[in-house]
Structure 1
C-alpha cells in the first residue's frame, strides 16, 4: 500500500515538473520558434465578393498547419531553403520519406547569379540609409527613438508573411497595390475555387486594400499580448524586410492626381472641402464630389500644397498615408531593411527582390500600364506654387529625399 502511494506521489510530482518545464520552454523558446511561425491570420473577415469572382478566404489554421509552421522554422528566412542540406533520396526509402524531401514549390535553383550591378545597387541603398540615420545633420521627428517607443498605431504598414519569412512596409502611391497583391498570393490568404489564388491581377481591388487581408505589426498585440514586441523583434531579425519608395515630390503629384482630380467621395468630404473652404474662397463648397465636378470645382495643386504646409493640418490629424512621409510610415532608422526598391527602377528591382526571396517561380510582379506620374512633370506642376512654398515643402520632405538618395530638386527650389 505504501509503495503504491509513493508511486502516485512520484507520478504527481513528475507531472508537475513536466508542466513547469513546458511553461518555461514556451515562455523562453516557444515565443521565438513555435508560435512565431504559426500562420498568423485565422482567415480575414471580408465582404462577400461578386459571385463571378468565386473567391473565399482560407480557413482557420489546423493542427497540421501548425506542424508545418514548426517545420518552417528550420528554413533560412526569405529563401525558402533549408538551413541543412536535404539528404539525397535513395530507392529504398518509403513513400513518406520521399514526400518529406520533395521541395516545396517555392524552392528554386537558380543557374545564373543576380547581376553584380543590381547587388551593388542594393548595397549602396542600404549603406546610404545607415549613414543618414547616423548623420546628426539629418534631423526629423522620431529619428532617435527606439523600436519599443514606436506606438502600435504607427506599425500598421508593416505586412508580415510567415510562410516565406517576409515583411513588407507598404508606401501608398509607390506600386503598393501590386505589392499587396503579391503578399496575398504568397501568404495564401485568398482562395479561388478552393485553391490559393496565384494570379495577383485577379485579386479584386477592394480586397487588395481590405486591412483584414493582411496581418500587420499593429495587430500583434491582440494576437500575442505581452509577447507582441518580442515577436516583432524576432521577426525583424529573422525575416527579409523590404519597401519601395519614389521621388517625394512626384509621389505628392501622384497622390493629388489620384485623390482630387478623380471623383473620390471619401477624399472630397475629408480633405477637398477643407481645402476649398480655407484656401479657395469657397465657404460653402458643394456637398458631394459629383456636384463639385459638375460645376468644375475641386482644389488645385497649389491648394493641396497649402494644406500640407498649414500647421493646422497636423494639429487636427496626422497626414493621410497617401502623403505621409516614408520615414513616418516605415521607420527606416529603427528597422534595418534588407531591400530598398525604387519605383524609378521598379521592374529590375522587383525581379531582383522576388528572386532574392526565391519566389519568382510562384509569382511575378504585375506590369502596370496605367498613366503613371513622370518625374519630368515636376516643373510644370509646381509652376503654380510660390517658390517660398516649394522650399518649405522640401524641408517637410527633406528626410525622405536624403534617406533614399533622391537629389534635391534645385531647378524647382531656385526659380
Structure 2
C-alpha cells in the first residue's frame, strides 16, 4: 500500500513539474513563436473578422512586420518579381465605394526596359558599373571610402528615404531635383493624407511639407523605432529594396546652390553663412544684421567668397558642410550602398521615365514636368572667372570624388586658364 501511495505522489509531482515547464516555455518562447509566424502586411487585403481586444503590456518588435510585409506583398523571395495580386473582395461593395484602395496593378510594357536602355546614348547601367569600378579602384582615395556600412554614423544616414509600400530607397541630393523626387516618395508611401485619402498628385503637395522631415521615413530614424535591430533592418532593406539617386555636374551644383541661397533673400542662410563670408573675406567687421538690410545696401557675398569659404579649413572645423554643397559621396555613401539606378539631372526626364518603369510605379505617379530652369553648364566659365585659378584647382580636388564616381569629365577649360 505504501508503494502505491509513493507512486501516486511521484506521478502528481511529475505532472506539476511538466505543467510548470509548459507555462515557462509558452511565456518565453511560445508567444514570440506565434508572433514570428503571424504575417502583417500593408495594403488591401480580403476582409477578416475584427480582432478581439486583448491586453498589450508591451509593443511587439515591428521590424519583423516590415520584413514580412515586404516579402509577402511585393516580392517572391529570391526572384525579385511581383507576387500574384490579391483578388479584390466585392462583398459589401456599397460600403466601400468611397474608401480609397491603393493601386496594386502592374503596368505591362511591350518592349523590355533593358533593351530600351541599351539603345540609349547614356546608359544608367553603365553609370552603375562605373560607380562600382571607382569604389573598387585603390588609386581613387577619399575620406570614408574604405569604411563599412556599420561604421557610418547614424546622423549621416538622414538622406536615405524609405518607401516600404513599394520597396524603394531614395538618397536625395539637394540641388538635384530633390523636391520633385521627395514629392514622388510622399505619394508612393502615402504619408500625406486628407480626409483619409492619400495625396496622389505630386505637384499638389505644398513646398513646406515636401522638405518637412516628418513626411519622410529616413534611415537615421530607424534607431528610435527599432532600437538594437535598426542596423540589421537597414541591411535587409538595402538588400531587398531598389535604391536610386540623382546627381549633376558638381561645379554646376555649387553654382546652383550659391544662386539659390545667396542671390535670393534667405534669412537663415544669410545669418548662418553669408555673414561669416562677409566678415572673413569681404572686410565687413559688422555686416548687415538681416538679409533685407544686406540686399538694400548691396553688401552680399560673391561666388569667389563662397569658393574661399568652401576651401577654408575653419569651415569644416566649425561644422560639416551644409547639405546643399556637401559632396554626394558624403550624403549617399555610394561605396557602402550598391545603388541600382544612378540618374543624371542633365537627362532628368528620360531617366525618371525609365526609373519609374523599373520601380513598376509609372501607373501610379509621374515625374512632374520641369520648366528646365536649370543652371547651365555653359555658365561655369563666367561664374569661375572671379575665382583664382589655384583656388579652382583646389576646389576640384575637394569635389573630385564626385566627378569620378558619377562620370563627369574633369573641367579643364576652367582649371587650365
Where 1:241 maps in the other structure, the secondary structure is strand
Separation (CA, whole Å) in 1 of partners of 2:76 and 2:198: 22
SS of 2:75's partner is: coil
1:382 to 375, 381, 384: 384
Structure 2 residue matching 1:118: 3-state secondary structure: helix
- Given that 2:353 and 2:367 are in contact with CA atoms closer than 8 Å, whether structure 1 keeps it comes out as yes
2:117 is matched with 118
8 Å Cα contact 1:77/1:238 also seen in 2: no
1:235 pairs with 2:234: no
Cα distance in 1 between the residues matched to 2:332 and 2:30: 37
CA distance in 2, matches of 1:218, 1:289: 33
- Name the SS of the counterpart of 1:73 in structure 2: helix
Q: How does 1:238-249 map to 2 (within 5 A)?
A: 238-249=240-251
User: Is the contact made by 2:183 and 2:205 (CA closer than 8 Å) also made in structure 1?
Assistant: yes
Q: For residues 87-141 of structure 1, what are the alpha-carbon distances to aligned partners after superposition, in whole Å with 9 as ceiling and x for unaligned?
A: 9x8xxx9857x99xx9943533223322635257122111101100011111100
Cα distance, 1:249 vs structure 2 = 0.2
CA contact under 8 A between 1:173 and 1:255: conserved in structure 2? yes
Alpha-carbon separation, structure 1, partners of 2:307 and 2:34: 52
Structure 1 residues 265 and 218: alpha-carbon distance in aligned structure 2, compared to 1, 3 A threshold = same
Deviations 1:205-241 (A, max 9, x none): 1111111111111111111111011001111001111
Superposed CA offset, 1:374-414 (max 9, x none) = 11111111111111110000000000000000000010000
| Partner secondary structure for residue 329 of structure 1 | helix
Partner of 2:139: 137
Q: Is the 8 A contact 1:106 1:362 kept in 2?
A: no
* CA distance in 2: counterparts of 1:94 and 1:393, whole angstroms: 60
CA contact (8 A) 1:165 1:238 kept: yes
2:312 aligned to 306, 310, 313, which one? 310
Matching residue of 1:394: 396
8 Å Cα contact 2:130-2:406 kept in structure 1: yes
Q: Partners in 1 of 2:89 and 2:231 — Cα distance?
A: 43
Partner residue, 2:21: 13
Out of 177, 185, 202, the position equivalent to 1:175 is: 177
Query: Paired residue for 2:75?
Result: 76
Deviations, residues 8-42 of structure 1 (Å, cap 9, x unaligned) = 65454334323433577599x78xx968x779xxx
Larger radius of gyration: 2
Counterpart-to-counterpart distance in 1, 2:66 and 2:83: 17
Structure 2: segments with no counterpart, 5+ residues: 1-7, 44-63
Task: Count residues with an aligned counterpart.
Answer: 381
Q: CA RMSD in A?
A: 3.4
- Distance (Å, rounded) in 1 between the aligned partners of 2:66 and 2:106: 16
Which residue pairs with 2:223 in the alignment? 221
Cα distance in 2 for residues equivalent to 1:229 and 1:412:
43
Secondary structure of the 1:243 match is strand
User: Which residue of 2 is the match for residue 276 of structure 1?
Assistant: 278
Matches within 5 A, 1:90-129: 104-114=103-113, 116-118=115-117, 121-129=123-131
| Distance verdict in 2 for CA 1:364–1:296, change over 3 Å | same
How far 1:72 moved relative to its partner?
3.9
Q: Which residue number corresponds to residue 4 of structure 2?
A: none
Structure 1 residues 22, 275: closer, same or farther in 2, change over 3 A? farther
Distance 1:103 1:202 in 2: 18
* Cα distance, 1:297 vs structure 2: 1.6
Partner Cα distance (2:207, 2:89) in 1: 46
Q: 321, 342, 346: which is aligned to 2:344?
A: 342
Extract unaligned runs of 5+ from structure 1.
40-65
* 1:47 aligned partner: none
Match of 1:285 in 2: 287
- Identify the range of structure 1 (276-285 vs 248-257) with the bigger mean alpha-carbon deviation: 276-285
**Does the residue aligned with 1:373 lie in a helix, a strand or coil?**
coil
Q: Which residue of 1 aligns with 2:202?
A: 200
Larger RCO: Structure 1 or Structure 2 (Cα < 8 Å, ≥ 6 residues apart)? 1
Identify the match of residue 255 of structure 1 among 254, 257, 270. Answer: 257
CA 82–25 in structure 1, closer or farther in 2 if over 3 Å, else same: farther
Contact 1:170 1:244 survives alignment (8 Å): yes
**Please, which of 154, 157, 176 is the counterpart of residue 156 of structure 2?**
154
